[in-house]
Chains A and B, each alone.
Chain A
Amino acid sequence: MATTSEHEWDLVIEPKKSVFRLNVKEIWIYRDLIALFVRRDFVAVYKQTILGPLWHIVQPLLTTITFTVIFGRVAKLAPSDIPNILFYMSGIVTWSYFANTVTKTSKTFIGNASLFGKVYFPRLVMPIAVSISNLIAFSIQIVTFLAFLAWFIIFDDTFQFELRPELLMLPVLVVIMAFLGLGFGIIVSSLTTKYRDLSFLVGFGVQLLMYASPVIFPLNMQQLLDKPIILGFIRLNPMTSIIESVRVAFFGGNLDWHGLIYTVVFTFVTLLFGIVLFNRVEKTFTDTI
């Protein structure tokens, strides 16, 4: 009798599981939870605000104006053949998706400690939901950008726009960026369960990292080409080739395939490392937090 029931357990809880285990099936079972978290993030944040989701537009818009005035008009860092507003907006929108994903997913464990302490669901559901809900904000911002783009196409005769095949790359770039942000975020969130220092570092670090990316200036700027070491550093930033590629898709130029391959490899390694770390932490973090 007993032997027939010894096998086919649905769940086995043991001290050490393989750290490389990524239970995609389990996360898939909880897909509705991901959808509800995304909905909650989106709906709840803007309840009792007047502008609601329009806040997603206000932030990049004001940043774009500031950058256009300071870095475009005053410092003259923007390229002359692209309208400054479009140049900065494309960079800011792309960068802020990455930055928001990293900073928000990095709070996974600390911010949900009480929830995680009371109920089990695959913890990875949380950062995945955050990455997706940021995607909604990102789409709103992209639509805003497209509106500006349309305005320049119609009213600015000096601006030449054509539908380039590189535009088809955009969804791929977004996916890479999502995985990159997720990877960074879960690494930080896993480490913050033990080292709270990192939670201070991350917001600030991401902000600084922006200066080591082509958000503010094009990579082919002469001042930069004269300083190969600084340029090399900027190329080390995995977001560099993504921002450059987004601009190539909209404004023309040549894709930097080496840079893109570097970013893809970097993303893959980061995500893998993140999952390993996350798996290790998720089982015991309630004991340490």
Chain B
Amino acid sequence: MSAEKVISVSNISKRYRLGVLGGATLSDDLKVWWAKKRGKPNPLVTIGDEVSSTREGDHFWALRDIEFDVHKGEILGVIGKNGAGKSTLLKLLSQITGPTTGSIKARGRIASLLEVGTGFHPELTGRENIYLNGAILGMNKAEIDSRIDAIIAFSGILHHIDTPVKRYSSGMKVRLGFAVAAHLEPEILIIDEVLAVGDAEFQKKCLGKMKDISVSGRTIIFVSHNMASVRSLCTRVIWVENGMVVENGPTEVVVRNYLNNFSGHGDEISWEDGRDAPGNEELRLIHVVLRKEFPDQLLLCSHWFEIEIAFINHGISDGNLRVNIHLINGAEVLVLATALVECLPAENIGVKGEHRFSCEVPGDLLNSDDYRVAVNFVRSGKLFFRCADTIGFQIHNAVSADGFSLGKKLGVIRPKLKWRRV
């Protein structure tokens, strides 16, 4: 890439000490220090426990040898599970805490947005808080003066701008906070999942603003769980796992790999018809695959999809052999069970040979969640065999026209039901 490097992260590691830090009180630490001075053993360590002070196990590496560069104008996404080290990385980049080893070099002013409305004072008015929050985020008074009208207009709370913030609803506080942040105009902007708040209309506004920022040649580092937002915004993605960079590359590739990893086996699994395939001498499952309405896109709540299964019957001739599919969500709740016989009572799988069926799940039925598919075979009313873990996939929240996630609805399922006035 020929663009100018604006951030260079090299060999960054961050170590945290586990458990109680040092002595609990000053006198304890003084005792330890005094004993050390006289070359005596630590008086506070119980016998048999001496080794522990040097043990590596007292420490926890939140990040290890992280290395990447960010170029001008990029929107870099950082993804990973909870506890993967994303937040620590963010804290290091925003200078909230120092690294244990390595260095971060940056060119240009960095502003970080780990929270919306940082430092708002409830007794001050909206206008006063714009100044305070803006200054905390690194603007000077002249810059805020020149942007205050735009900030107020963006927040959409003109009528309440001279009311103390303590009388604001939480939504209004968020809007005001984001409005200030959106007008920061630093060369590098670091954003945590602050977009996960606010109503859909305001989220759209925020997303548009972020796109504007990157178009104007500034750089954004965006940390999120929301794959839909990451995909629609980011030009490149870093996947962090256990404090290390697993993959660093184009958004589509990294997000796909991340999601596949996240769902265990991914959305397709097949076995050669050998002894490895689940089942027994008489019957083996050989293929389970997810087929999506839009194969190249994320599976959204509004999309239909099909689960296709294939199995080989080696020698059962039994009219009472049945197959059914269970869909289990991330909370291990059996969301639905569907049997072939309910739909196609005339189909007989108790016949030698390969059988292949597909089951369509309509859109607007399941809620956004992780899912896995279990396949069961039942013979004469008794479980013949069960493959509890075949494919896994994620269903994502519906997305607005700009590609922004509209949030998870309540309930295990979210079918679109018919309402009428009576």
Contact = CB atoms under 8 A, between A and B. Distances in A.
Interface string B20-58: 011001110100000000000000000000000000000
Interface of A: 1-2, 5, 8-15, 29-33, 35-37, 39-40, 43-44, 47-48, 115-121, 191, 194-195, 197-198, 283-284, 286-288
A43 B164 contact: no
B95 A13 contact: yes
A115 B96 contact: no
A257 to B, nearest CB: 37
Interface stretch (B116-124, B247-255, B372-380): B116-124
Contact of A120 (B16, B27, B96, B104): B96
A115 B118 contact: yes
B123 A121 contact: no
Interface string B280-311: 00000000000000000000000000000000
A121 B141 contact: no
Given A11-B105, A191-B26, 18 more contacts: A5-B5, A10-B106, A10-B108, A12-B104, A30-B135, A31-B140, A43-B123, A44-B121, A115-B118, A119-B94, A119-B96, A119-B118, A120-B94, A121-B136, A194-B22, A197-B27, A283-B97, A284-B97
A27 to B, nearest CB: 13
B288 to A, nearest CB: 45
A269 B332 CA distance: 63
A194 to B, nearest CB: 6
A133 B91 CA distance: 30
Contacts, number: 117
Given A35-B141, A40-B124, A286-B97, A11 B115 contact: no
Contacts of A35: 141
Given A12-B103, A14-B103, A30-B135, A120 B26 contact: no
Contact of A11 (B25, B110, B128, B139): B110
Interface of B: 2, 4-5, 8, 16-17, 21-22, 25-27, 29, 91-92, 94-110, 112, 114-115, 118-119, 121, 123-124, 128, 131-132, 135-141, 164
B98 A118 contact: no
8 contacts: A5-B5, A13-B106, A14-B103, A44-B123, A47-B123, A119-B119, A197-B27, A288-B21
Given A5-B5, A30-B135, A118-B115, A40 B121 contact: yes
A287 to B, nearest CB: 6
Contacts of A194: 21-22, 29
A35 B27 CA distance: 39
A263 B31 CA distance: 32
A9 B106 contact: yes
Contacts of B2: 1
A40 B97 contact: no
B99 A116 contact: no
The list of the 9 closest CB pairs from A to B, nearest first, reads A283-B98, A120-B95, A33-B135, A13-B104, A195-B26, A9-B105, A44-B123, A32-B141, A11-B106
Contact of B124 (A30, A32, A43): A43
A10 B187 CA distance: 11
B98 A13 contact: yes
Contact of B99 (A8, A14, A121): A14
Contact of A121 (B115, B138, B164): B138
A31 B135 CA distance: 9
Contacts of A37: 132
A14 B12 CA distance: 9
Contacts of A116: 96
Given A10-B107, A287-B16, A117 B132 contact: no
Contact of B137 (A1, A15, A119): A119
Contacts of B106: 9-13
A198 B26 contact: yes
A36 B128 CA distance: 9
Contacts of B95: 11, 13, 120
Contacts of A119: 94, 96, 112, 114-115, 118-119, 136-137
Nearest to B12: A13
B136 to A, nearest CB: 6
Given A1-B2, A14-B99, A36-B132, A118 B123 contact: no
Contact of A36 (B94, B114, B118, B135): B135
Nearest to A286: B97
A149 B141 CA distance: 39
